[in-house]
């Protein structure tokens, strides 16, 4: 199985002593910043970016603690830091306004960046951004996503063994083979004993899930005046349920439905979601 394509990597400083890996995925046209979900990394956007190469120049970052970016020494992974990372990359690229596409946590981080610094983006395409209304009186207790992340298997005998493991069972069995291959090729590091290990350690992934519980981005969606397309899957999960509320709360929000996809949409069907983003971002 052929490895995912390589990309030029730049290293960009962010807050909290973090150094970000920023992957230039190539293409011709306006810059589009691509922001990944919790537990993934910038290179998983490579198959999606390939479908935009004729109309856009795509750049994808690894958020703090993910991929080849470093984590804060404190392991504080509150999503305000993800917002810092977006703005650090935008500044490195010469400042806004840019176009942006984000998936899950990445979508939330793009909205947070636009709220903090209006005019950073001219248009956004967001696939099920994790932006929930404040749940007054919500039950306290462990975050099931974080607890699940802590139970993840971190080490595999080889990349091919990791690929077969992920491809054979939920949730990653729905990923397009090229996207899964990019995750395996770029999301695991070689160990001295010949095994491979997840770059985003289970505890880092868990703390990132926990870090997304406190942000109040939904409360300030009215401040985001740029055009935002909020894409939703048909899987009925909480991110899909809240997507219409996010679109409605945005002054220039628009809801886009992908009934045949799950929460992993951009990695599940890169061609279809890239076509949707192309239209939403005005890329022709």
**Which pLDDT belongs to residue 136?**
45
Please check whether residue 127 is in contact with residue 265, taking contact to mean a CB–CB distance below 8 angstroms. Answer: yes
pLDDT band with cut points at 50, 70 and 90 for residue 284: confident
Question: In this structure, are strands 57-61 and 98-103 parallel, antiparallel, or unpaired?
Answer: unpaired
**Percentage, residues of the chain above pLDDT 90:** 92
**Which pLDDT belongs to residue 141?**
67
From the centroid of its chain, how far is CA 52?
Answer: 17
Q: Would the pLDDT of 3 be above 90? A: no
pLDDT band with cut points at 50, 70 and 90 for residue 7: confident
Give CA–CA dist 107/100, Å, rounded. 9
The predicted-structure confidence for 178-208, as pLDDT tens digits, reads as follows: 999 999 999 999 999 999 999 999 999 999 9
Segment 45-74 mean pLDDT: 98
Cβ atoms < 10 Å from Cβ of 147: 13
Sheet strands (E) in the chain: 8-13, 19-26, 31-35, 57-61, 98-103, 121-127, 155-156, 188-190, 196-198, 227-233, 253-258
Select from 224, 279, 212 the least CA-distant residue to 253: 224
Segment 97-117 mean pLDDT: 98
pLDDT band with cut points at 50, 70 and 90 for residue 22: very high
Cα atoms found within 13 Å of the Cα of residue 113, Cβ hemisphere only: 33
Question: In this structure, are strands 227-233 and 121-127 parallel, antiparallel, or unpaired?
Answer: parallel
Give CA–CA dist 16/26, Å, rounded. 29
Q: Would the pLDDT of 57 be above 50? A: yes
Give CA–CA dist 26/15, Å, rounded. 26
Q: Would the pLDDT of 2 be above 80? A: no
Select from 34, 99, 92, 43 the least CA-distant residue to 66: 43
**Which pLDDT belongs to residue 138?**
45
Q: Which two tokens stand for residue 266?
A: 């951009």
Select from 103, 136, 139, 144 the least CA-distant residue to 239: 103
Q: Which two tokens stand for residue 13?
A: 């400083």
Q: Would the pLDDT of 1 be above 60? A: no
For the chain, what's the residue count?
Answer: 284
Give CA–CA dist 143/150, Å, rounded. 11
Give CA–CA dist 187/215, Å, rounded. 26
Global confidence as pTM:
0.95
**What domains appear along the chain, each with residue ranges and CATH number?**
8-132+209-280 (3.40.50.1820)
Triad 58, 88, 3: Cα angle to 5°: 40
The predicted-structure confidence for 265-279, as pLDDT tens digits, reads as follows: 999 999 999 999 999
Establish whether the linkage from the previous residue to 235 is cis, with ω within 30° of 0. no
């Amino acid at each position: 199985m052929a490895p995912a394509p390589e990309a030029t990597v730049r290293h960009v400083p962010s807050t909290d002593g973090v150094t970000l890996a920023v992957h230039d995925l190539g293409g011709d046209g306006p810059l589009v910043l691509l922001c990944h979900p919790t537990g993934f990394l910038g290179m998983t956007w490579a198959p999606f970016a390939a479908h935009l190469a004729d109309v856009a120049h795509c750049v994808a970052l690894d958020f703090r603690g993910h991929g080849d970016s470093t984590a804060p020494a404190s392991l504080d992974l509150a999503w305000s830091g993800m917002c810092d990372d977006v703005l650090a990359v935008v500044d490195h690229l010469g400042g806004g306004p840019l176009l942006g596409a984000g998936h899950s946590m990445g979508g939330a981080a793009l909205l947070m960046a636009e709220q903090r610094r209006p005019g950073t983006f001219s248009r956004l395409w967001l696939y099920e951004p994790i932006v929930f209304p404040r749940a007054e009186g919500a039950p306290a207790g462990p975050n099931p996503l974080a607890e699940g992340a802590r139970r993840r298997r971190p080490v595999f005998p080889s990349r091919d063994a990791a690929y077969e493991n992920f491809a054979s069972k939920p949730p990653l069995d729905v990923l397009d083979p090229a996207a899964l291959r990019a995750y395996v090729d770029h999301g695991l590091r070689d160990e001295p004993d010949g095994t491979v290990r997840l770059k985003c350690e289970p505890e880092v992934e868990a703390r990132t899930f926990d870090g997304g519980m406190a942000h109040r981005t939904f409360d300030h969606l009215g401040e985001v005046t740029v055009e935002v397309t909020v894409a939703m899957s048909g899987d009925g999960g909480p991110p899909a349920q809240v997507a219409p509320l996010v679109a409605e709360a945005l002054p220039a929000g628009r809801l886009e439905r992908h009934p045949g996809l799950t929460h992993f949409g951009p990695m599940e069907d890169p061609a279809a979601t890239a076509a949707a983003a192309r239209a939403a971002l005005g890329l022709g």
